[in-house]
Structure 1
Amino acid sequence: MHDPRIDQLADVLLDHSCQLQKGEKVLIEAIDLPEPNLICSLVEGAAARGAIPLVTIKNQQVQRSLYSSATEAAMEMSSKFEAARMAEMDAYVGIRGSANSSQHADVPQSKMDMYQKLWWQPVHSALRVAKTKWVVLRYPTDSFAQAAKMSTRAFEDFFFKVCTADYAAMAEAQKPLVARMEAADQVRIVAPGTELEFSIKDIPVVPCNGDRNIPDGEVFTAPVRDSINGTIKFNTESRYQGTVFSDICFEFKDGKIVNATANETEKINAILDSDEGARYCGEWSLGTNNHVKHPMLDTLFDEKIGGSFHLTPGEAYEIANNGNRSRIHWDLVLIQRPDYGGGEIYFDGELLRKDGRFVPDDLQGLNVGL
Structure 2
Amino acid sequence: MLDPRIAKLAENLLDDSVRLGAGENVMIEVRGEGAALAKELVKQAYARGAYPHVRLLDMAIQRELMMHTSEERAGFIKRWEEPMWQEMQAFIVIAGAPNDSEMSDVPVEKRLIQQKVMKPINDHITANLKWVLLNYPTPSMAQKANMSTDGFADFYYNVCTVDYKKMKAAFLPLQELMNATDQVRLVGPGTDLTFSIKGIPNVICAGENNIPDGEIFTAPVRDSVQGTITFNTESQYHGTKFSQVRLTFEQGKIVEASANHTERLNQILDSDEGARYIGEFAIGVNPYILHPMNDILFDEKIAGSFHFTPGQAYEDADNGNRSTVHWDMVNIQRPEYGGGEIWFDGVLIRKDGLFVHEALLGLNPDNLKS
Q: Which amino acid aligns with 2:99?
A: N
1:359 maps to 356
2:92 maps to 93
1:123 CA displacement: 2.3
Aligned pairs for 1:216-365 (under 5 A) are: 216-365=213-362
Aligned pairs for 1:14-25 (under 5 A) are: 14-25=14-25
* Aligned-partner Cα distance in 2 for 1:272–1:243: 14
Alpha-carbon displacement from aligned partner over 1:270-311 (angstroms, at most 9, x marks no partner): 000000000000000000111100011111110000000000
Q: Is the 8 A contact 1:291 1:369 kept in 2?
A: no
* Aligned-partner Cα distance in 2 for 1:87–1:150: 41
* Aligned-partner Cα distance in 2 for 1:249–1:290: 27
User: What is the TM-score normalised by the length of structure 2?
Assistant: 0.98
Q: Is the 8 A contact 2:285 2:365 kept in 1?
A: no
Q: Which amino acid aligns with 1:6?
A: I
Aligned pairs for 1:9-158 (under 5 A) are: 9-33=9-33, 36-119=35-118, 121-124=119-122, 126-158=123-155
* Aligned-partner Cα distance in 2 for 1:143–1:70: 27
* Aligned-partner Cα distance in 2 for 1:24–1:173: 32
Alpha-carbon displacement from aligned partner over 1:100-144 (angstroms, at most 9, x marks no partner): 11111111111111111012x1222x2210110000000000001
1:190 maps to 187
Q: Which amino acid aligns with 1:48?
A: A
Q: Which amino acid aligns with 2:70?
A: T
* Aligned-partner Cα distance in 1 for 2:341–2:365: 19
Q: Percent identity?
A: 54
After superposition, the CA RMSD in angstroms is 0.9
* Aligned-partner Cα distance in 2 for 1:6–1:265: 41
User: What is the TM-score normalised by the length of structure 1?
Assistant: 0.98
Q: Is the 8 A contact 1:83 1:127 kept in 2?
A: no
Q: Is the 8 A contact 1:128 1:134 kept in 2?
A: yes
1:82 CA displacement: 2.5
Q: Secondary structure of the residue that 1:225 maps to in structure 2?
A: coil
1:29 CA displacement: 0.5
Q: Secondary structure of the residue that 2:21 maps to in structure 1?
A: coil
* Aligned-partner Cα distance in 1 for 2:336–2:128: 41
Deviating 4+ runs (over 3 angstroms): none
1:79 CA displacement: 2.2
Q: Secondary structure of the residue that 2:193 maps to in structure 1?
A: strand
1:83 CA displacement: 2.6
1:368 aligns with 2:360: no
* Aligned-partner Cα distance in 2 for 1:70–1:188: 43
Q: Secondary structure of the residue that 2:165 maps to in structure 1?
A: helix
* Aligned-partner Cα distance in 1 for 2:362–2:14: 27
* Aligned-partner Cα distance in 1 for 2:120–2:56: 20
* Aligned-partner Cα distance in 1 for 2:82–2:260: 36
Structure 1 spans left out of the alignment, 5+ residues: none
* Aligned-partner Cα distance in 2 for 1:31–1:58: 5
Q: Is the 8 A contact 1:238 1:299 kept in 2?
A: yes
* Aligned-partner Cα distance in 2 for 1:62–1:244: 22
Alpha-carbon displacement from aligned partner over 1:66-120 (angstroms, at most 9, x marks no partner): 111111111111122223212210000000011111111111111111111012x
Q: Which amino acid aligns with 2:10?
A: A
* Aligned-partner Cα distance in 2 for 1:53–1:2: 20
* Aligned-partner Cα distance in 2 for 1:153–1:262: 34
* Aligned-partner Cα distance in 2 for 1:104–1:251: 29
Q: 1:175 aligns with which of 172, 194, 212?
A: 172
Q: Which amino acid aligns with 1:225?
A: R
Q: Which amino acid aligns with 2:148?
A: S
* Aligned-partner Cα distance in 2 for 1:93–1:109: 27
Q: Which amino acid aligns with 2:211?
A: I
1:259 CA displacement: 0.5
* Aligned-partner Cα distance in 1 for 2:44–2:272: 42
Alpha-carbon displacement from aligned partner over 1:171-221 (angstroms, at most 9, x marks no partner): 000000101111100001101000000000010010000010000000000
Q: Secondary structure of the residue that 2:366 maps to in structure 1?
A: coil
* Aligned-partner Cα distance in 2 for 1:207–1:36: 30
Q: Which amino acid aligns with 1:67?
A: M
Q: Is the 8 A contact 2:303 2:365 kept in 1?
A: no
Q: Is the 8 A contact 2:233 2:330 kept in 1?
A: yes
* Aligned-partner Cα distance in 2 for 1:358–1:286: 11
